[in-house]
Amino acid sequence: MSDAKSAAVLTRRLLIGGLLGSAALAAAPALANAPSQSLRPRARGAGSAPAAASPAAAPPVSSAALIEQARLGGQVSYVVLDARSGEVLEARAETQALPPASVAKAVTALFALERLGAGYRFATRVLATGPVSGGRVQGDLILAGGGDPTLDTDRLADLAIALKNRGIRGITGRFLLQDNALPGLSRIDAGQPLHVGYNPAISGLNLNFNRVHMEWKRASKGWQIAMDARGARHIPAVRMARAAIAERQSPIFTFEERDGTERWTVASAALGKGGSRWLPVRRPALYAGEVFQTLCAAQGITLPDPRQGSGRGTALAETLSPSLVPLLRDMLRHSTNLTAEVVGLTASGQTSLRASAAMMNAWVRERHGVDLALVDHSGLGGESRVTALAMARLMLRNPQLTEILRPYQTPAKAPADRAPVLAKTGTLNFVSGLAGHVQTRRPLVFAIFSADTPRRDALRGDERERPRGGPEWTTRARTMQGLLLERWAAVYGA
């Protein structure tokens, strides 16, 4: 699931014992407030035990108390390591395997960097099987995907403009969509709701993270609905995905494929006066082909309706993704599931997510000496399991991850001159993870995983998008993580 953006740094302030009484922790908003009192990190003696507090200072709140007061239920595991020596400074159930959610993307980033190289770029090309004569391609035109997870409408429009600049106005043959660079999968995880945009299809030809934009407005009679593939510069309409309003309370969405069209219905009770959202497409290549046909028509180029196919030809135009390092940095920052699965599948060359994840697990075991049990590359599959100790050791052995991990905001909202945290978050229903580096004077590496798996497993259907109590649980989990980090920075990081 995509994580909310956050950027800041870690305070060295430490909450004193009286600040976190049970009354203050009775509700999530109280947990989110910055502490009103603080202690400086104290000098430490030999060993890993904190130095004794002065008589005037209250002892720091223990990690166990912070966990108890978060009232998460289920299981909480963590470990914090000295980043220089690897010494375990503090731990709780660190060998308990729990779902990592999107923290798994940090593993995928390492796997892709080693297998593909930092300079790797995904290419999307327009090929012609014959020469250009009289403004027409004498043969087929092929939109050949290389799996690029970042391809958007505006870059597809640039390909159409490049064809126009070559004087092309049409073709004599077929318009083919070549999407066999990656296995075609209708969704990442079958357990997620059909309508969530973070669970798209996967293809060798992807567009707009394989999502279509739906917008609705009240009209004098009923509703106006538009489906488009909007970019920053172009907003082409889409025909292969359609939506209609149904007079009902629930379910909010229904989906079916019929007559070559992806058809959605939306419950009228959920619409209000107007709004929009991104819906997943299940046939990404057809989506990209239809949008390219429309964009070409805007440039005066006539193409027949697209169909899947492949072939060899001369490249007429090409667009490249960013190189792998900035692409992975954006993947970790925005937690884009499609990007994670595409780079993982490309790195492994396997034909299914489970086989690809199994290869990545084996690589981690051989290369880094830790055991993981991931079932995909994004963490969206709830069956994945890792331990806090394994994830922290992986972070410890790969300090280069700090170059692409995002800054993490703790509840205290520290000023910019405090020690930064660079970490990857992970969120599923009743699952929350966080792992990364704390750049205190004594640098730390940590991993925290929380999961109430029985509560998660009990969810059905539409409950999975926003389950009752889910957002509040996530808020408490994230607040607990931030307070644990503040404690560790103060006690161990000086």
What percentage of the chain carries pLDDT values higher than 90? 75
pLDDT at 85 over 50: yes
User: Whole-prediction pTM value?
Assistant: 0.86
Q: What is the pLDDT of residues 27-56, one digit of tens each?
A: 333 322 222 222 223 333 333 344 444 443
Q: What is the pLDDT of residues 125-145, one digit of tens each?
A: 999 999 999 999 999 999 999
3-state secondary structure the chain: CCCCCCCCCCCCCCCEHHHHCCCCCCCHHHHHCCCCCCCCCCCCCCCCCCCCCCCCCCCECCHHHHHHHHCCCCEEEEEEEECCCCCEEEEECCCCEECCHHHHHHHHHHHHHHHHCCCCCCEEEEEECCCEECCEECCCEEEECCCCCCCCHHHHHHHHHHHHHCCCCEECCCEEEECCCCCCECCCCCCCCCCCCCCCCECCCCCHHHEEEEEEEECCCCEEEEEECCCCCCCCECCCEEEEEECCCCCCEEEEEECCEEEEEEEHHHCCCEEEEEEECCCHHHHHHHHHHHHHHHCCCECCCCEECCCCCEEEEEEECCCHHHHHHHHHHHCCHHHHHHHHHHHHCCCCHHHHHHHHHHHHHHHHCCCCECCCCCCCCCCCEEEHHHHHHHHHCCHHHHHCCEECCCCCCCCCCCCCEEEEEEEECCEEEEEEEECCCCCEEEEEEEECHHHHHCCCHHHHCCCCCHHHHHHHHHHHHHHHHHHHHHHHCC
Cα separation, 204 vs 342, in Å, equals: 9
Q: What are the chain's domains? A: 17-100+385-492 (3.40.710), 123-320 (no CATH)
Q: In which band, very low, low, confident or very high, does the pLDDT at 12 lie, cut at 50, 70 and 90?
A: very low
Cα separation, 283 vs 287, in Å, equals: 6
Average confidence (pLDDT) over 113-129: 98
pLDDT at 263 over 90: yes
